[in-house]
Amino acid sequence: MSLLRQDRWQNIDDLILLEGGATYFPAIEKQLELATKSIYLETYIFSADATAKKISDLLCLAAKRGVEVKLIVDWLGSAPLLFESDLIQSGVELCYYNKAWFGRFGFSRTHRKLLVIDGVTAFVGGINICDDRLDAAGKPVGGVRWDLAIQVYGKVVEHVHIAFLRQWQRLQVGALHPANIIKRIFQQELPWSSSHFMGIRHSAKASIAFIARDNLHHRRDIERAYLKAIGQSREEIWLVTPYFMPARLLRKALIRAAQRGVSVNLLLGRDEFAILNWAVPSLYGQFLKAGIKIYEYSGHGQLHAKVMVVDRRWATIGSSNCDHLSFFVNHEANLVIRNHEVVREMRWRVFDQAHEFAHAVDPDTYMNRSVFIKLANWISYRVVRLIVGVLVIGVKDKALINQGD
């Protein structure tokens, strides 16, 4: 049967929630050692630290024993790749995504974090190949970077596998030749489309789906998944993101959910980019007035998880932040999970992080902040919007991006 005709929702064979590098890297290292046929890895950051060196060594060893190893790294996030020569000499096939600030794909980056082993198991989440105790400059983050990923088995792995190969195909020499573009347009596509965005309440059966964002067939798939779940929520929403610059549709959806009595909670990252520390609070007023609770992560490293849990029945986890770059520019990948115990596990872990390592924004304190701070928030937000406008030059869906105001 064609993948195009298959139900995008699959039964769950096995699902493991991995919290942080302490559990994630041992899990992927084990699978890299066991691989016999193929290893497909796509990541935004492949660092130069000891954690990344160990993964690089395992990729090299796998290639030397005859495993097909393909590695996609983002040029902006990973170049220059310190281990490049070792990888290539060992037989690893390496591709950089978009080798310039404004390359053949504009500013678009691959922000996905995917690993597929032998077509049997896959890892999807927000964790890059780097030490989660260090920032991008190699300096300690003051704790650990809190992040989540999922290891999955079953038929959904096939969808992750195909998504990687489609990406690999896009990056090959000649991929932008008109004949090859036309060929890809008519190729069998992945089994997800807007018509398949079933939300929370279509079935009580445990199920899982893989969704990805690109700039061709699936530009708004992840955004639609968020909007559908928020729109169907009845009890509770926990939205976790390190970078929060949502467009108008998502803002309105969250506010409407709160207005109909849903408990809406935002756990947001802080202290990674100074301008975002000033810009993001510009949005708080409309949420606080609607009764939405906002928690700012602080005092325990950095928040890097990208998760939303709705009514303890539905969850999405992956690489997509709630900002313009993730929803409208970058290539992203998420899993959507329904009616499985891992959804409740995610919810409790998010709840614990919010109450142990974050502080709640007090509405009165926020509303009474000084005129100077209000002005600084407003100016910073406008500057970020201007920067985003420059970065998305060449992106077709500018009308969608301009939902932000």
Answer yes or no: 111 catalytic. Answer: yes
Residue 307 in tokens: 């998760």
Q: Which amino acid is at 162?
A: I
Q: Any idea what the Cα angle at residue 32 is, between residues 26 and 36, rounded to 5°?
A: 150
Which residue among the candidates 304, 324, 331, 340 is catalytic per the annotation?
304
CA atoms within 13 A on the CB side of 384: 27
The catalytically annotated residue of 113, 161, 228, 324 is 113
Mind giving me the DSSP string for 282-317? GGHHHHHHTT-EEEEE-SSSEE---EEEETTTEEEE
Q: Residue 91: which of 39, 155, 167 has the closest Cα?
A: 39
What region, left, alpha or beta, does residue 46 occupy, with left being phi > 0 and alpha being psi -120 to 50 degrees?
beta
User: Residues 70, 74, 111, 214: which is the catalytic one?
Assistant: 111
Q: What token pair was written down for 306?
A: 């990208």
The yes-or-no answer on residue 306 being catalytic is yes
Residue count (the chain):
405
Of 49, 57, 86, 118, the catalytic one is 118
Other CB atoms within 10 A of residue 384 CB: 21
Give the residue carrying structure tokens 């690999």: 168
Q: In terms of Cα–Cα distance, which of 243, 298, 295 is closest to 264?
A: 295
* CA dihedral angle for residue 273, residue 278, residue 282, residue 288, rounded to 10 degrees: 80
Q: Give the integer Cα–Cα distance in Å for 374 and 119.
A: 52
Contacts of 189 by beta carbon, 8 Å cutoff, 6+ apart: 3, 4, 217
Q: Locate 197 and state its tokens.
A: 């965005």
Active-site hit among 70, 159, 218, 306: 306
**What is d(CA 140, CA 403) in angstroms, rounded to the nearest whole number?**
37
Active site residue 113: yes
Residue pair 174/37 in contact (Cβ under 8 Å)? The answer is: no
Is 218 a known active-site residue? no
For tokens 């993101």, the residue is: 241
End-to-end CA distance of the chain: 44
Q: For the purposes of burial, counting CB atoms within 10 Å of the CB of 2, is it exposed (0-12), middle (13-18) or buried (19 or more)?
A: exposed
**Which residues form the catalytic set?**
111, 113, 118, 304, 306, 311
